[in-house]
Chains A and B, each alone.
Chain A
């Protein structure tokens, strides 16, 4: 049981490039979410999904896309990276006990 896994752990992009941050969970959780963590700002919700085929926007969705084709996977796409998207990104899934399980994070730098 690996829990929530994220790849890559580190990534450097140039402004305008696109990329996908991968997230997978093996706990059969319906609810998954993406957060970004910036110094002094805590974690802010980007997008979330309540099940396969269903996604919705969180607090800071601009510049990001998501899809949920399976229960296990919830990738986050940056369409055209900007320096303001430099951050640490966390994926999480929530089980029936209302506990969110977080992945180890992806540290993204946009130059």
Chain B
């Protein structure tokens, strides 16, 4: 069985400050990890994914994440946030790929002026 824990339900941050959204996972099979973003009243869209290879993954909108196998983590980071980054962010683990995903409960990122 696989599971995802997002420890922070809400993260407030000032514009241009750095941010880290935390994600820890457990999985009994090969690990495929994803971060999705959901803007208000919209569906989810992929930010980035880790399937294999380099543990540092770069995504859209300046976000990046690092896969840490020993810590079973896949934290999302951005060095300088913008107001437009205000959204809900979901970490997910895939069972053998990107199909059957288990999502975390989400982290609401609120960027303030």
Contact = CB atoms under 8 A, between A and B. Distances in A.
B100 A45 contact: yes
B99 to A, nearest CB: 5
B106 A48 contact: no
B62 interface: no
B83 interface: no
Q: Classify the interface of chain A: helix, strand, loop or mixed.
A: strand
Interface residues of B, number: 24
A27 to B, nearest CB: 14
Contacts, number: 61
A74 interface: no
A4 B42 CA distance: 12
B86 to A, nearest CB: 17
Given A42-B106, A90-B43, A90-B44, A99 B49 contact: yes
A40 interface: yes
Interface string B96-107: 011111111110
B72 interface: no
Contact of A42 (B42, B51, B90): B90
Contacts of B80: none
Given A42-B90, A45-B101, A105-B43, A98 B106 contact: no
7 contacts: A41-B105, A43-B90, A44-B103, A45-B101, A98-B49, A99-B46, A103-B43
